[in-house]
Structure 1
Amino acid sequence: MAEELRFPTGLGTSDADSISLLGQDLAADLMGRVGFGELAFWLVARRRPSSGEVRVFEAVLVALADHGFTPTAIAARLTYLSAPDSLQGALAAGLLGGGSRFLGVTEDCGRFLADALAGGAPDDYPAFATELIAASTGRIPGLGHPVHKVQDPRTPVLIRIAQEEGLYGPHLRLLEAIAAVHPKKLPLNGAGVCGAALADLGLPIEMLRGFALLARAAGLLGQLAEEHRRPVANQIYLTVDRNAVYEP
């Protein structure tokens, strides 16, 4: 007898009369009762977050949503110019640009801190941070910003919210200690603090970039809506094209 095929999932399913999600009736238990941020957290963590966790998590999403004409936004707008019939392609083009320089810092910082704390939280954070800096062979993710040279305005707000909700954990503490003792006195950047905050919420390190992309999807949709109303992508394209220099 052939083995029965099974494809288990604990997320969602549906039948003729109902839709189930996370063990709840979607229409009766979730719609109008659960916010999108809370649901996104729940889907990944497989547990319903507390109100404090939702506040920190949604603050992270807001912090990462949009930063103006970044490469991800320009890529989305230029793709929309080229294929206005493919909104999904333009949105995807922007998301594909989330890497080690833009958005990926969230995961990189969270991973760096989680690896450092794998043996447990230290008794002396400044001393531990000093050791980490001395042992580091490259740039520490979460430090420095191309625009905010003194202070990223997002960082104190995120840290304050985490403290107010009792969620200021070892990842945020270690990142602040690193910034405090680092000889270059570089400011913490918002993306790195977001990674530390998400790690303190107990979310999987492997998923942290996904949360950054979730936030940026909203920002990119706003960019595309603005491009539809007040297009600038053609000007960007023509500026590059008319100033291109052919060097055979």
Structure 2
Amino acid sequence: MTETYRTSLGTSSLDSIQLLGKEMATELMGEVSFGDLAFWLVALRRPTKGESRLFNAILVALADHGFTPTVLAARLTLTSAPESIQGAMAAGILGGGSRFLGVTEDAAKFLAQSLSDAGELGSDSSYEDLAKQILYDCQSRGLLVPGLGHPVHKNGDPRTPVIYKLAAEAGVFGTHLSLLAAIERVQADVFDKHLPVNGAGACGAALADLGFPPGIIRGFALVARSAGLLGQIAEEMRDPIGLQLYAAVDRNARYVDPSEVLYSRSTRSTLKDES
């Protein structure tokens, strides 16, 4: 008896490629956008028109954000190994962690867990009450709130209101986005400063409201950033800055005695504990 292996995605034969129950060449190519296909492959259903608009906007929002560490890693890897575009792409993708890109997943997980712990919610005041509880708890424990704050867009991330608008128009402005929006409304009462919801956090909440489990959401951020990385790598090939970056750091490197570094680190730790 021949052993078989189950899949709901794709198979191929001598003269046919089947994907998601469709004939790739005649039913998908030229008929389905790449964004819609990415949605379909994970959700195992086609997005509605509104969901498609929101999902593709999320991919655009996460595609590129300038000279981030992940981009620099990709460019410098290409500088070191110009024959290995896959190495440069991989270097950039591997940097998708808790500070860059991974915030999409972290925010979705944080919101999902908070909602699960809270139980049933209805009115805006309920969301705001929960948001205050969450923020006070994070403050008392010294924890950051995923999706809140941005190192550049301190007055507001321009991507966030667009995600809110498209989600509302698609009819998928659900519990995750509602709680995130409430967190932004009440955060000044807790922290005494303005911390806007960043685009990555809004994207994570929107993806959760689209029905994707939090554990898969970072994957969409990586799919989106792959396009940005490819653009950055193409620019590095056309107009390289890798050697310039390397030279700038190398020529400005300053040796310090290890004891000086250890003393400085110990002092910073003490000051942090006392603050």
Shorter-chain TM-score bucket reads over 0.9
Contact residue 121 and residue 170 of structure 1 kept, 8 A: no
- The match for 1:180 is 185
How much has 1:177 moved relative to structure 2?
0.3
Unmatched tracts of structure 2, length 5 or more: 258-275
Q: What whole-Å deviation, never above 9, does each CA across 1:183-222 have from its counterpart, x for those lacking one?
A: 2231110000000000000012111110001000000000
Percent of aligned positions that are identical: 60
- The match for 1:193 is 202
* Alpha-carbon separation, structure 2, partners of 1:128 and 1:102: 27
1:88 matched to 2:105? The reply is no
Contact residue 14 and residue 20 of structure 1 kept, 8 A: yes
Match of 1:158 among 159, 163, 170: 163
- The match for 1:104 is 102
* Count of aligned pairs: 246
2:38 alignment partner AA: A
Structure with bigger gyration radius: 2
* Alpha-carbon separation, structure 1, partners of 2:235 and 2:228: 11
- The match for 2:151 is 146
Greater helix share, structure number: 2
- The match for 2:21 is 23
- The match for 1:126 is 128
1:164 alignment partner AA: E
Contact residue 122 and residue 128 of structure 1 kept, 8 A: no
Q: What whole-Å deviation, never above 9, does each CA across 1:45-71 have from its counterpart, x for those lacking one?
A: 111111111111111110010011100
* Alpha-carbon separation, structure 1, partners of 2:36 and 2:115: 27
Match of 1:56 among 45, 54, 57: 54
SS at match of 1:117: helix
How much has 1:167 moved relative to structure 2?
1.5
* Alpha-carbon separation, structure 1, partners of 2:78 and 2:119: 47
- The match for 1:34 is 32
* Alpha-carbon separation, structure 2, partners of 1:140 and 1:19: 45
Q: TM-score, normalised by structure 2?
A: 0.86
1:155 alignment partner AA: T
SS at match of 2:96: coil
- The match for 2:67 is 69
- The match for 1:7 is 5
How much has 1:121 moved relative to structure 2?
4.3
Q: What whole-Å deviation, never above 9, does each CA across 1:130-155 have from its counterpart, x for those lacking one?
A: 12222333111110000011101111
2:229 alignment partner AA: L
CA change 1:194–1:121 in 2 (3 A) is farther
Contact residue 45 and residue 204 of structure 1 kept, 8 A: no
* Alpha-carbon separation, structure 1, partners of 2:121 and 2:246: 52
SS at match of 1:108: helix
Match of 2:224 among 215, 223, 226: 215
Q: What whole-Å deviation, never above 9, does each CA across 1:64-122 have from its counterpart, x for those lacking one?
A: 10011100100000011111111011001000000000000000000011111226441
Q: TM-score, normalised by structure 1?
A: 0.96
Match of 1:235 among 244, 251, 269: 244
* Alpha-carbon separation, structure 1, partners of 2:252 and 2:179: 47
Unmatched tracts of structure 1, length 5 or more: none
Contact residue 171 and residue 200 of structure 1 kept, 8 A: yes
- The match for 2:262 is none
SS at match of 2:18: strand
Contact residue 22 and residue 43 of structure 1 kept, 8 A: yes
How much has 1:40 moved relative to structure 2?
0.1
* Alpha-carbon separation, structure 1, partners of 2:110 and 2:202: 12
SS at match of 2:88: helix
Deviates more, 1:61-70 or 1:126-135: 126-135
How much has 1:237 moved relative to structure 2?
0.6
